[in-house]
Amino acid sequence: MHDVDTALDLLCGRDLASGRRVSEAWHGLSGGDTGYRASQFDVQRYLWLILPRMVRAGDPPDGRPVAAAFAEFFDLTGEPRYAAICRGRWTERVLAAAGDRERCAELAINAMDDSGVLPPEELDIAWLPEPGPYEAAAFDAIARALETAIAEGQIPLATPATDTLRLVLALDLLGSRIADDGARTVVQAMVAERMRYWSRQTPSQALREQLVRTEPDVATPPRTELDTAPALAPLRLLLESCAGPGAKLTRAGYLPTDLVASLVEAMPCARTFPGSGRSESHWPPVGQLRDLAYRCELVDHEDGRLRLTHVGEDALADDRTLFEALATTFIGYADPPHRQHVLETVLTMLLLENRVDRAAIDRRLGVVLAEYAVDPPPSREDVLRLRVEALWDLRVVGALLTDDVERPVGLNEVGRELAVAALRARVLQGWWWG
């Protein structure tokens, strides 16, 4: 086995052009770090993503000789698994299709998925193309740990248990303490890092101030001991009614009257609402709960019935899963786009104060939306409507301290955890990047 410099010298002696290509590739992977150790993901990224782009640019005209030379390099440096990847069928297929951008990208994605070393999608993390140091380190650590576990047979590929095992390993790493900062976990450092990036990128100075001040709250670990079952009981009842064949809607498209009656009885905010009758149209809190479930992608309409989505089915597993599913999609990507800015502003304001006057929320929303330069600018009535909707979203899931609509509003324990979890999910989804 040879060290890197000796192996590169031997390759250049055999074929100067290919040797130089491998030398350039290694420098690109290592960034010039003499202590760099290759990983399977790095090798695959070069072979299946970087090298095809170079081929499409015409230099080199064919990537396969470079891959063959890279295989020789790994033979010389004692990395037979990486040499096998260079000579493998996925590399051959990807490089053969390098001229067809879409086909090549499709093959590269499939090849990456097949390898099992990518961080699991179930983490609900959109990894940024230009990550900060904590995020880059987290991605690399997960990819290397998965590589080792797969190579040593601890995680067999293409079995029913594969995805679960990969997810558990990744979650363990994200929840581990940082070596030089024992007070924080890896994911806490990532969230704090991204909160800073978000605050720098937002065009709204008013929201930026709130993001900076709420960073410590959003970066804290979830409160897994918090009992969310009572607050989420109405939502669970609605989802359970939509399981299997789904809840058959009336001709007018409303929920069945017996379900409406059960929801009214289960919802404190509905029991105190001055409603009457049996129809959903007479009980706005019930309609708000249904609309929230729809916007959070827990239910969908199909053939005159309200049915669970895959997300909704998974959410019924237990109360914690339901809470996480709600939090992950609470802000969402709903229409109009500035609804998200409204929710972000409302949630951060409520996290910063025990109680907030509604007029103060409206004034802050006006400033934030003006600074975002929303086009066309929402009217005062639009802002009021979205603020009312945001507070009702919180009310129907039992997240507010009071149902008295005349008083300043505040979050209870469940509400604070929901606000924190929703903002944390927003940060990890990376929607604001670029």
Q: How far apart are CA 272 and CA 190, in angstroms?
A: 42
pLDDT value, residue 406: 65
Nearby residues of 227 by Cβ (< 8 Å), 6 or more positions away: none
Among candidate residues 134, 174, 169, the one with its CA nearest the CA of residue 154: 169
Question: What count of other Cβ atoms lies within 10 Å of the Cβ of residue 20?
Answer: 14
Q: How far apart are CA 333 and CA 337, in angstroms?
A: 7
pLDDT value, residue 182: 67
Give, in degrees to the nearest 5, the angle at Cα 41 between 35 and 42: 45
Q: How far apart are CA 362 and CA 249, in angstroms?
A: 36
pLDDT value, residue 64: 93
pLDDT value, residue 333: 63
Q: How far apart are CA 62 and CA 92, in angstroms?
A: 11
Decide: 86 and 71 in contact? Cβ < 8 Å. yes
Tell me the CA end-to-end span of the chain in Å, nearest whole number.
44
H or E stretch covering 428: helix 413-429
Decide: 263 and 238 in contact? Cβ < 8 Å. yes
Q: How far apart are CA 259 and CA 234, in angstroms?
A: 11
pLDDT value, residue 434: 53
Decide: 377 and 364 in contact? Cβ < 8 Å. no
pLDDT value, residue 336: 67
Q: What share of the chain is helix, strand, coil (3-state, %, to 5)?
A: 65, 5, 30
pTM of the entire predicted model: 0.89
Cis? peptide before 60, omega within 30° of 0: yes
pLDDT (tens place) for every residue of the chain, 434 residues total = 898 989 999 998 888 888 888 998 898 888 878 888 999 999 999 999 999 999 999 988 999 999 999 999 999 999 999 999 999 999 999 999 999 999 999 999 999 999 999 999 999 899 998 899 999 999 999 999 999 999 999 999 999 999 999 999 999 999 999 877 668 899 999 999 999 999 999 999 999 999 999 999 999 988 889 999 999 999 999 999 999 999 999 999 999 999 999 999 999 988 777 777 889 999 999 999 999 999 999 999 999 999 999 999 999 999 999 999 999 999 976 566 678 889 999 999 999 999 999 999 999 999 999 998 877 787 888 888 889 999 999 999 999 997 555 689 999 999 999 999 999 999 998 876 65
Domains and CATH numbers, the chain: 4-115 (no CATH), 121-203 (no CATH), 229-327 (1.10.10.10)
Decide: 117 and 138 in contact? Cβ < 8 Å. no
Nearby residues of 83 by Cβ (< 8 Å), 6 or more positions away: 71, 72, 74, 75
DSSP code string of 267-327: -HHHHTS---SSSGGG-HHHHHHHHHHHHTTSEEEETTEEEE-HHHHHHTT-HHHHHHHHH
CA 215, 219, 220, 225 dihedral sign is positive
Q: How far apart are CA 305 and CA 302, in angstroms?
A: 5
Residue 256 DSSP class = P
Q: How far apart are CA 311 and CA 321, in angstroms?
A: 10
pLDDT value, residue 433: 64
H or E stretch covering 10: helix 4-14
Residue 134 CA, chain-centre distance (Å), reads 16
Nearby residues of 210 by Cβ (< 8 Å), 6 or more positions away: 345, 348, 349, 352
Helix/strand/coil for 356: strand
